[in-house]
Amino acid sequence: MRQLFVAALALAACRDSPAPAHAPVGSAGSAAVGSAAADPWAAKPAPPKPPDTPETRKQRAEAALGRVATIIPTLAKLRELRFDREVPTKYQTTPEFQAFVRREIAKELPPQRSKDLAAAFAHLGLLVKPIDLATVEEQAMVTQAGAYYDPAAKAFFLVMVPDNELMLDTISAHELTHALQDQHFNLTKYLPSDGSLDDDATTARRFVVEGDATFAMLLYALHGVIGDKLTPALIASVRGQIEQLAGQDLEALKAQLKSQSAAFGMMDGEIKKSIDAMDDIPPAVLVPLLDSYMKGALVALTAYEHGGWAGVDALYGKPPSSSEQVLHPATKLFPTRDEPHRVGLAAAREPELRRDVIGELGWKIYFELWKTPGAAEAAAGWGGDRYSVTRRKDGRLIGRVATVWDSPEDATQFADAYRVSLAARFPGAELAQVGGDVVMQRPEGGGTLIVRTMGSRVFIVDGADDAAAMDALVRTTKID
Q: Which of 311, 355, 352 is nearest to 333 (CA)?
A: 311
Cβ burial, residue 410 (10 Å; 0-12/13-18/19+): buried
Q: How far apart are CA 479 and CA 476, in angstroms?
A: 10
**Is there a contact between 146 and 6 (Cβ–Cβ < 8 Å)?**
yes
Q: What is the per-residue pLDDT for 159?
A: 92
- Partnered with residue 403 across adjacent β-strands are 385, 458
Q: What is the pLDDT of residue 11?
A: 55
Q: Which residues pair with 461 in a beta bridge?
A: 400, 450
Report whether 124 contacts 399 (CB < 8 A): yes
Helix or strand holding residue 346 (H, E): none
Q: Are 325 and 337 in contact (CB under 8 A)?
A: yes
pLDDT tens by residue, 27-80: 222 222 333 334 544 545 555 666 778 899 999 999 999 999 999 999 999 999
Please compute, for residue 189, the number of CA atoms within 13 A of its CA located in the half-sphere on the CB side: 9
Distance CA 90, CA 246 (A): 31
Residues in the chain: 480
What residue spans define the domains of the chain?
5-333, 343-479
180-221 pLDDT per residue, tens = 999 999 999 999 988 899 999 999 999 999 999 999 999 999
More confident residue, 8 or 471: 471
Residue 117 scores a pLDDT above 80: yes
Q: C-alpha 170: how far from its chain's center?
A: 20
8 A C-beta contact, residue 7 and residue 28: no
The pTM assigned to this predicted structure is: 0.90
Grade residue 311 by pLDDT with cuts at 50, 70 and 90.
very high
According to the model, what pLDDT value does residue 47 have?
Answer: 57
